[in-house]
Chains A and B, each alone.
Chain A
């Protein structure tokens, strides 16, 4: 524990600072603070999951520009499957399966067929947009809403309780995924191999690691997370589906991945920060503290993306082999 603290001093201090400030505001105005933080989390959740998809891909050397399409396709499948079968669980599962399928396509196209990774991703986005608008049928609705699960004791904590511990299964799942991925990536055998494959594939190859298999497997598995994000969006966050439903979140997630320096926890922090900024802006708008046309408020995440990327560019370093198909040569 003490070793953990000395090694991760900065993030731990930052977290404490944020919690401290949050409680400060909470005692000042508990209703608004809780509502902003609730907004923050639900806004950030799909971005967190999508950023994990990007991180797994790029850490293994594959750019995933198709997260947007993977999420859109999964959200579509989840919604209509749930509507047709009358079961949210069925919808969620099929949504994840759709994500797996889209992930596997990217893996096979980019690695086995050595297709340009950007093009493969764009293909996914276009096909997903096409399928989901062509087969879109209006007038369907979900059989139920996704239940909140109250965690005993923890949900009683002021502020943290309602924000984190009285949520749907998607929230818990996401938090677990981020932590597990952080640990796996940096301390497991899988993580070591994944990063080797993304940094210097021929070194991994000569050490007896199957570069192709590792990449395809990782990108496909990441697809399940994209599927989870899609299912969350249509089943839980919105409760409906519409064309172009993901609204660029897949691309935003790539910026968040970079801002988080390709670390799961870092990306989560970045996504929460984005969510908080949007939540704050909407709240101020609603309170008529500021009076800016709604369109500018909606632009906020994209403007922040630009600002953040131009500041972090050059400071963080992507995995060295990202975007390059691996070829064996002399």
Chain B
């Protein structure tokens, strides 16, 4: 029998980059193929061609043994291809059912049959154990649930080939485990799955085969049974990667951030932070551990001036920064790596160079009498792109054209470059490949050693435990425990995160 999907010698270039160079890939029915590779290796490009979003420059694609021309997503959908995108593709003001049915609507009396759609979605979510209420609006749902909606969308169209582009980047560990379970279930029913992720643990847990890309080229193929995390990392990056963070013991100095009993509301106008207090000193990394949705987002936004503080005080270097504007907070020496890089981290239609001075373009070096100083900006941009290994054809390229992980590196580069006194980093390595995670971690440690105070928020418990000198556990909008890194082991922190007590 012909394989479900066969990609033969496909190439694709963008201005200045050969994103895919003669790639071939086979996926059989009932198989999970993991696609692995550094940021900008060409993974998203490859699957987007299979989904009909870009036409290949050359090469052929076969589905069930027939050569196909995938000129639009519609053509791919009609052939049984479904895709969950790296960046969610849901209409925020539509209900779950409307999003699922969109493009494949059933009709009654010539009109869109919303009742049928809601019933179908309810049935599907029951059948696959993807709990979600079909009538709720997307904008009212947490990301983990939105991800489920994306998967329901694909199921609704009866996909035979399921493409998942970094679906776990925004999920909590529990949600990730559920998703891996769901993927295995699909494979059992004969669906072919292409799974892109940067988390090697997930690859080993779920994949039948692993295909590795580097710089647009296919560099190898392996099976989870024949390798381990270190082996996979080496195949991807081409050198051994240190997966643990190496750092000296912290030498904390004066207090930089002091939060006194702040109360903040969340998006639904409920109490998000409940008299939370916290302190971060120069030269130390404080990591916030917690199950997503316990106030992490609100905490970061309250410090950086993005959310109103109802009560309590925030001091930065002993200056009252409560309810300051983001600009004022920045002027006090605070750098912010936001969790949603697409929305809050960069301006997609600006060049990389301009994005790199977004927080500094008013400084004398970059602006003279209100005129932008092109050469100094370019010089800085070239230096940062080189130092942070942002993969791009040029510094004039629009930030929107970068691969997901490279966008993240761009934001990190900008925020670390100016020597902030306090770094507030939310999910700093989300969507970043293992090699670059190592690099970003080292940069954060270096910022600490140069005397910066660092507040790290991450959904990855391993990242918090590996990087932090002090771990603060957040639960229901309060810090429920602070532990020295040495005393913070996985089990104990996990219990505290779930609301258990210290003993």
Contacts and interface: CB of A to CB of B under 8 A. Distances in A.
B103 A207 contact: yes
Q: Which of B73, B85, B98, B102 has the largest number of chain A CB atoms within 10 A? A: B102
Contacts of B85: 206
Given A205-B73, A207-B103, A330-B48, A187 B90 contact: no
A195 to B, nearest CB: 8
B451 to A, nearest CB: 38
A195 B77 CA distance: 21
A183 B114 CA distance: 13
B102 A204 contact: yes
A196 B400 CA distance: 22
B72 A210 contact: yes
A330 B45 contact: yes
Contacts of B114: 187
B98 A192 contact: yes
B153 A199 contact: no
A203 interface: yes
Given A192-B98, A208-B72, A200 B90 contact: yes
B55 to A, nearest CB: 11
A1 to B, nearest CB: 16
Contact of A206 (B73, B400, B401): B73
A329 B104 CA distance: 24
B89 interface: yes
Contacts of B99: 203
A200 B402 CA distance: 20
B153 A189 contact: no
B53 A206 contact: yes
A203 B401 contact: no
A210 B51 CA distance: 14
Given A206-B83, A208-B104, A330-B44, A191 B112 contact: yes
A204 B73 CA distance: 10
Interface string A207-236: 111100000000000000000000000000
Contacts of B111: 183, 187-189
Interface string B32-58: 000000000000110010010110000
Interface string A157-199: 0000000000000000000000000010001110111011001
B45 A208 contact: no
A183 B110 CA distance: 11
B105 interface: yes
Nearest to A207: B103
Contacts of A209: 74, 102-103
Contacts of A192: 94, 98, 101-102, 105, 112
B368 interface: no
Given A187-B111, A206-B85, A328-B53, A199 B92 contact: yes
Contacts of A320: 92-93
Contacts of A202: 89
Contacts of A196: 91, 94, 102
Interface string B72-98: 111001100001010001111110001
Given A191-B112, A196-B102, A208-B104, A330 B90 contact: no
Contacts of B72: 208, 210
Contacts of A204: 91, 102-103
A295 B48 CA distance: 61
A209 B74 CA distance: 7
A244 B73 CA distance: 46
A317 to B, nearest CB: 8
B355 interface: no
Contacts of B125: none
Given A208-B74, A328-B53, 16 more contacts: A187-B114, A195-B94, A199-B92, A199-B94, A200-B89, A200-B92, A203-B91, A203-B102, A204-B91, A208-B103, A209-B103, A210-B72, A320-B92, A329-B348, A330-B45, A330-B400
Interface of A: 183, 187-189, 191-193, 195-196, 199-200, 202-210, 320, 328-330
Interface of B: 44-45, 48, 51, 53-54, 72-74, 77-78, 83, 85, 89-94, 98-99, 101-105, 107, 110-112, 114, 153, 348, 400-403
8 contacts: A188-B112, A189-B112, A193-B103, A195-B94, A209-B103, A329-B348, A330-B400, A330-B401
